Amino acid sequence: MLTVLTSHSIKMISYLINCLFDPIILCLIIINCTFLYYYLTSTYDKWSKLNVLHVEPIPLFGNVFKMMVGLERQVQLFDRIYHRFPEAKICGFYQMRIPYLMIRDPVLINTILIKDFSHFVDHGIDIDESVNIMGRSLFLTNGQKWKIMRQKLNPGFTSVKLRGTHEQIQKCTDQLLNYINENSKQKTDGTEVNKIIKNLTIDIIGTCAFGMKLDTINSENNVNFKKYVNKLVKPNGKLIFFQYLLGTLFPKVIKLLKIQTIDVDATNFFRSVFREVIDYRTEHNVDRNDIAQTLMKARNDLVLNSESTGGENYCELDIIANAMLFFAAGTETVAATASYCLYELAINTDIQDRLRAEITSSKIKHGAQININNEFLEDLPYAEMVINETLRKYTLFATLMRKATQNYDVPGESITIEKGQKITIPLYSIHHDPKYYPNPDTFDPERFTEEEKSKRPNGTFLPFGDGPRHCIGKRLAELELKLIISKILSNFEILPCEKTEIPLTFKTERGMITSKNEGMDFLKTIMPPEATDLVDYFDTTYVHRSYKSVQHNPNNGVRLRNIAPLYPPSIWNVYQTTLDNGHN
C-alpha cells in the first residue's frame, strides 16, 4: 500500500508541475491573479487623489489587518485611526477595499447629524431585507421608507406617552428587589447583576411594549422567551464575520448566497407572539397606551391602508421587525448600561452615597416614597450626571455610521463627500478624548454639571446619536435607568465582592463593547438590619452603611447618630422632632 501511495503521489506532483509550467495555464493564472489584485486594490488611491489625510492601506486588508487576525478589537481599530491625525477634521481609511471617511471634528459632526441631515439620511449598513428580517427595522431601513415608519412610531415614545409606563416598570423592579433580597440570603459570594437586570429589562419591554406579564426574573419561568431573546441579541458570530468578509470583498456574491444571520426560530417565535397580541386586542377591543398599540396603528396605516405609505411598500414583516428591534435594543443596551453604572457605584461608594441621598431627598420632596412619580424622576440631576458619565465611559458602540445620500461640500474644507460615500463617527474615541474629557478613564459625574457641559462643543456626547435619526428609545432607556438605579439604591447597598473584576477588561461582540470576563456581574448587595418603619422610610441603607449606627432601644424607638450632616437641612428638619431624644 505504501508503494502504491508513493507512486500515486509522484504522479500527482508530476502532473501539477506540468500544469504549472504549461504556458497557457501559467498565463491564465497570472492574468487571474493580476485581475484579482487590481480589483482588491483599485480603490486605494481615492483619498490620495482627494488630498485627504489617510492611513496607507495593506493590499486585501486595507487598514483592518490587525482586527481581522485578532490583534485588536474594532474599537481599538477606530481609536488608532482617530488618534493618527489629531488636528484633522476628517481622515480616510479602508475597510478591506471599501474607502471610509472618519469625521473627527465635533462641530462638523453636529452639522452632519442635525443641520445637514438631509445629506446623510441613511445609516449606511447594507442588509438584504429579503433574507434578514432586521433589515426591515427602523434602525436599518433607509430613505423615504425610514422616514414614514419613523413618523408612525414616534408618537409611542413621547414623554407624555411614557409617563403611563411608570407603574408597570415599578412592578417589574419590585420583583427584582424581591429576587435580590432572597438571593442575598442564599448567596454570600455576590449577585450576577448583569444577568438579573437583563431579565428585568425583558420583563419591562414585555409589559410596557406588549402588555405581557413575563416574570422572566424568576429563571424557571418563560425559558423559551429568554432563549429566543438571546438568539435575537446574539446572532451567529461566525456567520456575521463571514458575511462581513465576503460582503466587503464581493458584495454581489453575498447577495446571491442569501446568508441568514438571524435565527429563523427566533423570527417565527416573535412573529407568533406579536400576532397573538394583535388578535387578542382586536377580538377584545383592547386599546392600551403602549408601544404595541403604536405598532398596531402603524400596521393599520401602512399595511392595511396603502394610501398613507407615500408610494413605499410595507408588509406585516416591517411591523414584526420593529417589534423585534424594540426587544433587542430595549434589553441588551439598557441592561449593560445599568450594570456598568452599578459597578461604578460599588467601587465609588462616595458617589453611591451622594446619589442615594439625592434619591431619598427627591422622594420625600415629591411624595414618592411608595410610588415613584414623574416629579420625582425629573428632580434627579445628580442621577442624570451619573447615568451620563456611565454612557460616556462605557460607550457601547464604537462608531456611528452614515451614508451620503447626495453630494456634500464639507464646510471649510476643499472636499466633496460623494453620494454613496460611507462615513463613520468615532463615538468611543470622542467620549475618551482628553481634550474634551480630562482623565477619561476616571469615573467622574461632575463632567456633566451645567457648567462643565457648557465648556464642550456640541457633538462630544452622543450615546444615542443626534438629529432626526437619533435613537427612538432614548427617553424610555433613560426612564428605565433612573427607575432601576433609584429602586436598587433605595433598598440595597452595592459593594464589590471577591469575584468582581477591577478593573474590567473588554471585548467587542456583535459590534457592541462588553465586559470580557463578565467580572462586573458579581456584586454584593447588603440589606440593612430590620428597623422601624420610620428608619426604613428614611433610607436605612444609607445610614447603616455610612455610620453603622442604627440601634433599637427597649421602647422600640430608633437612635440615629450623625445623620443630620448627610441629608439636606430641609429633610432633617422635617424628621428631627419625630426621633427619640437619644440622638446627638
At residue 192, does pLDDT exceed 70?
yes
Phi first, then psi: give them for residue 508, nearest 5 degrees.
-110, 120
Q: Which amino acid is at 583?
A: H
pLDDT at 572 over 50: no
pLDDT at 521 over 70: no
Q: Is 471 annotated as a binding residue?
A: yes
CA distance 469 to 238: 30
Least confident residue range of 75-84, 130-139, 326-335, 520-529: 520-529
Q: Is the pLDDT of residue 112 over 80?
A: yes
Grid coordinates standing for 222? Answer: 418563560
Which three cell numbers mark 406?
A: 447626495
Residue 256 pLDDT: 73
Please report, rounded to a whole number, the percentage of residues in the chain having pLDDT higher than 70: 78
Percent of the chain at pLDDT > 90 equals 39
Give the pLDDT confidence score for residue 560 in this predicted structure: 24
CA torsion angle 329 334 335 340 (round to 10): 130
Do the Cβ atoms of 208 and 201 come closer than 8 Å? no
- Average pLDDT of span 189-196: 79
Cis status of the peptide bond prior to 569, with omega within 30 of 0: no
Which residue in the block uniquely carries the three cell numbers 456634500?
408
The model's pLDDT over 298-336, given as tens digits with 9 standing for 90+, comes to: 999 998 886 666 678 898 899 999 998 888 888 889 999
pLDDT for residue 463 is more than 60:
yes
Q: How far apart are CA 255 and CA 94, in angstroms?
A: 22
Angle of helix 291-299 versus helix 264-284 axis, rounded to 10: 90
Sheet holding 90-95, edge to edge: 90-95, 98-103, 422-425, 400-403
Between these two residues, 179 and 467, which has the higher pLDDT value?
467
Determine whether 312 is exposed, middle or buried from the number of CB atoms within 10 Å of its CB (0-12, 13-18, 19+): middle
Arithmetic mean of pLDDT, 538-564: 32
Q: Could you tell me the three cell numbers for 142? A: 433607509
In this prediction, residue 219 carries a pLDDT of 66
- Which grid coordinates belong to 296? 398596531
Mean pLDDT of 505-529: 57
Q: Given this model, what pLDDT does residue 135 score?
A: 87
Say which amino acid occupies 387.
I
- Answer yes or no: are the C-beta atoms of 296 and 278 closer than 8 Å: yes
Of 136, 138, 168, 170, which Cα lies nearest the Cα of 154?
Answer: 138
Per-residue pLDDT, 210: 78
Q: Is residue 52 over pLDDT 60?
A: yes
CA distances from 52 to 3, 93, 149, 358, 405 (A): 63, 10, 37, 50, 20
Say which DSSP state 141 is in. Answer: -
Q: Where is pLDDT greater, at 160 or 403?
A: 403
pLDDT band at 191 (very low <50, low <70, confident <90, very high): confident
The answer, yes or no, to whether residue 230 has pLDDT greater than 90, is: no
| C-alpha cell at position 450 | 451645567
Which segment of 8-17, 270-279, 423-432 scores lowest on mean pLDDT?
Answer: 8-17
- 336-350, 419-433, 477-491, 516-530: which has the minimum mean pLDDT? 516-530
The pTM assigned to this predicted structure is 0.84
pLDDT of residue 307: 64
pLDDT at 518 over 70: no
Residues 6+ apart with CB under 8 A from 50: 92, 415
The pLDDT score that the predictor gives to residue 427 is: 97
| Residue ranges in 458-558 assigned as alpha helix (H) | 474-491, 533-537, 540-547
Can you give the pLDDT at residue 513?
Answer: 61
Whether the pLDDT of residue 99 is over 70: the answer is yes
Residues 6+ apart with CB under 8 A from 151: none
Contact call for residues 98 and 43 (beta carbons, < 8 A): yes
* Per-residue pLDDT at 507 exceeds 90: no
Is it the case that residue 553 has pLDDT exceeding 70?
no
Asked whether 498 and 189 are in contact (CB, 8 A), the reply is: yes
Structure confidence by residue, pLDDT tens digits, 253-298 = 767 777 777 778 888 888 888 888 888 888 888 888 888 889 999 9
Residue-level pLDDT at 552:
30
- Rounded CA gap, 301 and 156, in Å? 15
For the chain, list the domains and their CATH numbers: 138-390+464-527 (1.10.630.10), 531-584 (no CATH)
DSSP letter (8 states) at residue 208: H
Strands 422-425 and 98-103: parallel
Averaged confidence pLDDT in the chain: 80
**Confidence tier at 15 by pLDDT (50, 70, 90):** low
Average pLDDT value for residue range 225-251: 73
- Indicate whether 221 pLDDT > 90: no
CB atoms within 10 A of CB 122: 19
Predicted pLDDT of residue 49: 93
Amino acid 529: pLDDT = 40
